[in-house]
Structure 1
Amino acid sequence: MLTHLLSLYPDLEPLAPDLAALQAQAPAVSVPAGTQLFAQGAPCQGFPLVLAGEVRVACHAEDGRSLELYRVRPGELCLVSSASLFRGLPLGAQGVSAQASTLLMITPTLFEEWLGVPAFRKLVLGLFAERMAELTSLVDAVAFQKLDQRLAAALLGRGQDLHLSHQTLADELGTVREIVTRLLRRFEHAGWLTLGREHIHILNSQALRAVAGGQASTAAHTTG
């Protein structure tokens, strides 16, 4: 397991003895898809290293809406967890396993000790730079792009047949299911896709690309 961990996180090589001891005391944990790993507003209980699977990190509003911030895959780090541990503040978002996942949790005390190791500190600071670029793009999309553009972009790059619910798309886009359903029906009326139960079949990717790029609108194809 240690060899696999270091293959994913090679910058942790100087901490190999600590990692070996940690694994002996608190082995990696495997969880099924849909498991809440940390809750928004709760104290941070540890810093997760993802060995397999994927963790979806999302921010939730009081009205029930959710906005996906990013996903943590093997070899990547969680910005929300590190920010919480850095500042000693509650977590700013929720983490849920998007698929069956295996994680090794670094305790807050150990995380603080490791910050004194140049390799780990460089790894975490590099994470901040990468994730901030992603979040800046997300803020730009939410603030300045129309929802039909963002929905069209979310549909692209997943293949011709998408097996996901309208609620899943709504959560990714930070809106409500009813609006996503309305827009998907407009896309269907325009002849760009067909809808089924938790299934979307793409018929015209080029048209969706035009909408995603702000070069076309569904308004010309439907009255509502």
Structure 2
Amino acid sequence: MHETLWKLHFPEFIASNDKVIKQLMDAAIMVTLPARQQVFYPGKICDNYLLILSGSVKAQIMSTDGREILLYHVLAGDSCVLTTSCLLGNNNYPAEGYTETEVSAFAIPAHIFHRCLEQSTFFREFVFRNFSQRLADVIKRMESISFGSVEQKLAKALLASGEKTLHKTHNELALELGSAREVVSRHLKRFESYGWLSLSRGAISNINFDALHKISHFNDQS
């Protein structure tokens, strides 16, 4: 049953003392996926409710001009908001998901998910609480992509790490911001010319938090 993994990542399941939850844990299948593997795609049927144990999955959509737009990341201890939505609405996936690293997860078959949702108050509360939290994160992210200049969004993304050195490529930042790599590169080079950061292959260092903070809040102060 992989009780140790349940206890480590989802201790509330162990503590619930719910017979239905015990059946769910027994039915869960441990799966491991390699990095950069497609997990789902538009139109795919949702067969399992996934609870991530380790690694990271990114969910994204394609814009009309062919750009990838990141929706959210699913990390250890998380459930996927699109998976939950598809299971609850009996719909197919509307977006695509890829593993960013090797991923381990508990896969709970759809029929077990629905039975436990019907029979267990604990599981219903867990599912809807996580769904609500993840959905709020997605909405917040879409707002950040839709509003504000690329310059502001880039400054906020650089500040979000809290580190003086950020190990991300220009393409990864562009994906997060819903912008084009060339646009992000142009703004980063301008930031570098101002002395706000230093660019190297796969990394952005010497980030000036004070300067970027002022840029990220420019519209808020005007």
TM-score interval, smaller chain: 0.7 to 0.9
Residue 139 of structure 1: how far off its partner (Å):
2.7
* Residue in 2 that maps onto 1:7: 8
Out of 196, 200, 204, which is 2:204 matched to? 200
Q: Percent identity?
A: 31
Inter-CA distance 50–108: structure 2 relative to 1 (3 Å threshold)? same
* Residue in 2 that maps onto 1:222: none
What secondary structure is seen at the aligned counterpart in 2 of 1:175? coil
What secondary structure is seen at the aligned counterpart in 1 of 2:146? helix
Residue 215 of structure 1: how far off its partner (Å):
6.1
* Whole-angstrom CA distance in 2 between matches of 1:41 and 1:60: 14
What secondary structure is seen at the aligned counterpart in 2 of 1:42? coil
Please tell me the residue identity of whatever aligns with 2:133: E
> Is residue 2:145 matched to residue 1:142?
yes
> Is residue 2:25 matched to residue 1:19?
yes
* Residue in 2 that maps onto 1:100: 102
Residue 80 of structure 1: how far off its partner (Å):
0.4
Does the 8 Å CA contact 2:71/2:142 hold for their aligned counterparts?
A: no
Out of 155, 158, 167, which is 2:158 matched to? 155
Please tell me the residue identity of whatever aligns with 2:134: R
Residue 58 of structure 1: how far off its partner (Å):
1.9
> Is residue 2:97 matched to residue 1:90?
no
* Whole-angstrom CA distance in 2 between matches of 1:140 and 1:61: 16
* Whole-angstrom CA distance in 1 between matches of 2:22 and 2:8: 12
* Residue in 2 that maps onto 1:186: 190
Deviation string 1:156-185 (CA, Å, 9 cap, x unpaired) is 243222222111111111111111111111
Deviation string 1:91-138 (CA, Å, 9 cap, x unpaired) is 122222222221121111111112111111111111222123212322
Out of 120, 125, 140, which is 1:122 matched to? 125
Coordinate RMSD, CA, aligned: 1.9
* Whole-angstrom CA distance in 2 between matches of 1:40 and 1:160: 38
What secondary structure is seen at the aligned counterpart in 2 of 1:133? helix
> Which stretches in structure 2 are left out of the alignment for 5+ residues?
none
* Residue in 2 that maps onto 1:133: 136
What secondary structure is seen at the aligned counterpart in 1 of 2:218? coil
Inter-CA distance 203–78: structure 2 relative to 1 (3 Å threshold)? closer
- Pairing of 1:30-49 with structure 2 (within 5 A): 30-49=32-51
Does the 8 Å CA contact 2:165/2:207 hold for their aligned counterparts?
A: no
Please tell me the residue identity of whatever aligns with 2:110: P
- Pairing of 1:36-75 with structure 2 (within 5 A): 36-75=38-77
TM-score by length of 2: 0.87
* Residue in 2 that maps onto 1:171: 175
Does the 8 Å CA contact 2:40/2:96 hold for their aligned counterparts?
A: yes
TM-score by length of 1: 0.86
